[in-house]
């Protein structure tokens, strides 16, 4: 098999040159999609604008039963970048650019492999993954798509990942009673005190879950990301907001965890509890169904000759395909540790190896 890497790097150079940062979600149906159209001339292509910068492109050649999914949006670039994040830099061992790892490197590999082959294959490109607003995938799954399997090309270091955590983000609002901080009631009527007490109880609960295990994952991941409220030190806070997120094991119920977290609020002081984003675990379903789907994904990886890796802590949209009843796994070049970093990079070895695997799968279809 001839070396694909030069072609992959050519496509990656083009893909990273398009500004698809999310936010600001300023992504339309042209630009990067025009480029993909020209590179996939033998595909039937449907581009759909779902609003708010969410654009999907379904490209199909032949009659495949498997779809490759790859998102084209990136996180914003930080001031810590040492050079233009939209200009590809290639060193002896890595390709550096915004999205090179997460996950335009995989997109470049898929395009390069498609241009070398003629077999049946389908790609679903999307631009809303980094927004935690999966309009593209939801619309695809609600359609009469006819696919049975999905390979989501997030960075897994070239190994098939069969399981990962779910994810949930929550906005909580606490109510208090405004007053002078010198009063004895300040301890019990401050909305900020209620938020802090909630956080202490939540942290104790999370620590008590450390013994739980599923597929190599342990415990419950949890983070309080923001607390705000109050006016000044000598005034009792009448209002407070707290944002937190948690990532359960596939064997844990999101609904049960929400009930528990909600119950930790001091009596009468919880104004509202709103889940702002939710994603199921991979595989999805109850414990028995999750294990059944994991075994199906393992069989698919074995059939495709993919090395199988460990379960991971980060979330991917593979879980949405699994929830819809498809056999889904995650497979792509790069290390998640490089995603969302300044001078983000993907190793050339992994780009070459994974792209060759993509080509092999397309030739075998």
What is the C-alpha separation between 246 and 169, in angstroms, rounded? 7
Where would I find the beta strands (DSSP E) of the chain? 44-49, 55-61, 66-71, 89-90, 94-96, 121-126, 149-152, 167-175, 179-180, 213-214, 217-218, 221-229, 235-236, 239-247, 270-279, 327-330, 345-347
List the Cα angle 214/338/47 in 5-degree steps.
90
What is the C-alpha separation between 182 and 291, in angstroms, rounded? 57
Q: Which helix (H) or strand (E) holds 360?
A: helix 348-364
Q: Which of 90, 111, 87 is nearest to 99 (CA)?
A: 87
What is the C-alpha separation between 363 and 117, in angstroms, rounded? 6
Q: Which of 129, 130, 149, 154 is catalytic?
A: 129
Query: Cis (ω within 30 of 0) for the bond into 23?
Result: yes
What is the C-alpha separation between 250 and 190, in angstroms, rounded? 37
Beta-sheet pairing, 55-61 with 44-49: antiparallel
What is the C-alpha separation between 72 and 13, in angstroms, rounded? 13
121 DSSP β-pair partners: 61
| 180 φ, ψ (degrees, to nearest 5) | -80, 135
What angle separates helix 5-17 from helix 32-39, to the nearest 10 degrees?
Answer: 150
66 DSSP β-pair partners: 149
Query: Cis (ω within 30 of 0) for the bond into 11?
Result: no
Active site residue 130: no
List the Cα angle 147/152/157 in 5-degree steps.
145
The residues assigned a catalytic role are 129
């Amino acid at each position: 098999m001839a070396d694909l890497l030069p072609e992959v790097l050519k496509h990656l150079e083009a893909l990273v040159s398009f500004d698809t940062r999310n936010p600001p979600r300023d992504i339309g149906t042209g630009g990067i999609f025009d480029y993909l159209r020209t590179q996939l001339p033998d595909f039937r292509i449907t581009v759909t604008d779902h609003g708010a910068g969410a654009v999907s492109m379904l490209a199909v050649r032949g009659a495949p039963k498997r779809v490759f999914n790859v998102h084209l949006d990136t996180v914003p670039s930080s001031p810590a970048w040492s050079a233009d994040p939209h200009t590809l830099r290639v060193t002896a061992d890595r390709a550096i650019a915004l999205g090179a790892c997460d996950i335009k490197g995989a997109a470049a590999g898929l395009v390069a492999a498609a241009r070398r082959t003629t077999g049946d294959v389908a790609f679903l490109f999307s631009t809303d993954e980094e927004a935690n607003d999966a309009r593209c995938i939801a619309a695809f799954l609600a359609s009469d798509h006819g696919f049975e399997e999905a390979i989501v090309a997030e960075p897994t270091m070239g190994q098939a990942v069969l399981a990962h955590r779910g994810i949930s983000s929550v906005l909580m609002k606490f109510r208090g009673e405004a007053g002078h901080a010198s009063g004895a009631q300040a301890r019990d009527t401050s909305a900020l005190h209620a938020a802090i007490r909630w956080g202490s109880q939540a942290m104790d609960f999370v620590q008590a879950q450390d013994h739980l295990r599923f597929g190599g994952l342990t415990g419950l991941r949890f983070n309080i990301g923001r607390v705000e409220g109050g006016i000044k030190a000598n005034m009792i806070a009448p209002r407070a907001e707290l944002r937190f997120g948690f990532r359960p094991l596939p064997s844990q119920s999101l609904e049960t965890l929400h009930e528990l977290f909600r119950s930790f609020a001091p009596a009468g002081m919880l104004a509202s509890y709103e889940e702002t984003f939710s994603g199921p675990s991979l595989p999805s379903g109850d414990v028995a169904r999750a294990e059944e789907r994991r075994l199906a994904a393992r069989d698919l990886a074995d059939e495709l000759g993919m090395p199988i890796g460990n379960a991971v802590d980060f979330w991917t949209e593979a879980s949405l395909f699994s929830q819809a009843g498809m056999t889904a796994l995650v497979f792509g070049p790069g290390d998640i540790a490089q995603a969302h970093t300044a001078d983000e990079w993907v190793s050339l070895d992994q780009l070459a190896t994974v792209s060759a695997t993509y080509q092999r799968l397309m030739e075998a279809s």
